[in-house]
Amino acid sequence: MPSVFSRIIAGAIPGRFVCTSERWVAFLDINPVADGHVLLVPVHEAPRIQDLPAETLADLGPMLARLTAAVRAATGCPAVNVIVNDGPEAGQEVPHAHLHIVPRFAGDGQRVGLRHHAASAESLDAMQAKLQAAWR
């Protein structure tokens, strides 16, 4: 069954589109964190960013840059959060890769829900080695 995003893209469910292209669409989130909260969604349905076709990923940078500029211009916000919840354990609610562009203002009371922790040099070295091996 197609995801809710695929159904919005197909017109089966209404969406408030900001822009569309061959590979990406952007529409307003119906449960926004802030006014102007936009979802950037690939037309190709895939559960994770890594599963998207290369040509879709190649178009991501230019679309994201233009969309963040549009969100800033339309809302007057000085900054945005660009959030990717890539998998259910990361908070992804719709199994269709997507990015959230959330307008941010000083004193808006919003927080990104990540908690940082101190890491030892040894643990950083070990993780660096694991990631480098996975990259190869």
Kind of pairing between the strands at 17-20 and 99-104: unpaired
Copy the structure tokens of residue 44.
Answer: 């190709």
Full strand arrangement of the beta sheet holding 38-42? 17-20, 24-28, 38-42, 99-104, 79-83
**What are 81's two structure tokens?**
């959060």
The angle subtended at Cα 44 by Cα 43 and Cα 50, nearest 5°, is 125
Alpha carbon distance 47, 43 (integer Å):
12
Q: How many CB atoms lie under 10 A from the CB of residue 45?
A: 16
Known catalytic membership, residue 96: no
Instruction: State the amino acid at position 51 in one-letter form.
Output: D
Catalytic residue among 44, 98, 100, 116: 98
Catalytic residues: 98
